């Protein structure tokens, strides 16, 4: 058990104390009353370790940072969001069943999933969003597809896409 002696008392209720026994023996500190409203200086706050976030929470924050205000609102409300492309509009949010409405009409359901280790769902959407924005033709080239509502699943590319697109 720690023991201390009060070295000095200040008018605002703070005290300077020296520990005389226990694990802190020899250390001198200033104490602050609970009502003092003290918070550590900015440098101390910056050095404080961040609260550990789950991978899912970090992934969701990253995904939201990439979305437009409309997409964010859609994601919050429906856990889905639309992505415009030069080829048409996609709707991300249902794994293995990404909606695609080409500019020339029609509708497809796409299956595009990153391979490798298990990822939180928001990480999958981030991965696909970045893949789509960096190389849209490749995205549609590798996508498996079907016509809704219950069409047969076909290997990519999506109709209308060739390696040269």
Q: Which residue is listed with tokens 């001198």?
A: 28
How many whole angstroms separate alpha carbon 89 and alpha carbon 105? 10
* Tally of CB atoms within 10 A around 134: 9
Please list the pLDDT of the chain residue by residue as tens digits (165 residues). Answer: 667 788 888 777 777 888 787 777 888 887 766 554 555 555 544 555 567 888 888 889 899 999 999 999 999 999 999 999 999 999 999 989 999 999 989 999 999 988 777 888 899 999 999 999 989 988 999 999 999 888 899 999 999 887 644
């Amino acid at each position: 058990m720690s023991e201390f002696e009060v070295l000095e008392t200040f008018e605002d209720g703070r005290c300077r104390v020296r520990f005389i026994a226990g694990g802190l023996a020899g250390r001198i500190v200033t104490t602050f009353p609970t009502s003092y409203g003290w918070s550590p200086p900015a440098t101390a706050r910056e050095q404080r370790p961040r609260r550990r976030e789950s991978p899912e929470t970090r992934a969701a924050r990253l995904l939201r940072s990439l979305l437009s205000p409309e997409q964010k609102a859609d994601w919050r409300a429906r856990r889905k969001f639309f992505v415009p492309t030069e080829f048409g509009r996609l709707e991300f949010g249902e794994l293995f069943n990404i909606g695609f409405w080409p500019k020339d009409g029609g509708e497809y359901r796409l299956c595009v999933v990153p391979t490798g280790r298990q990822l939180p769902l928001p990480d999958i959407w981030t991965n696909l969003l970045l893949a789509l924005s960096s190389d849209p033709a490749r995205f549609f080239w590798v996508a498996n597809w079907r016509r809704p509502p219950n069409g047969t699943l076909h290997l990519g590319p999506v109709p209308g896409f060739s390696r040269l697109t």
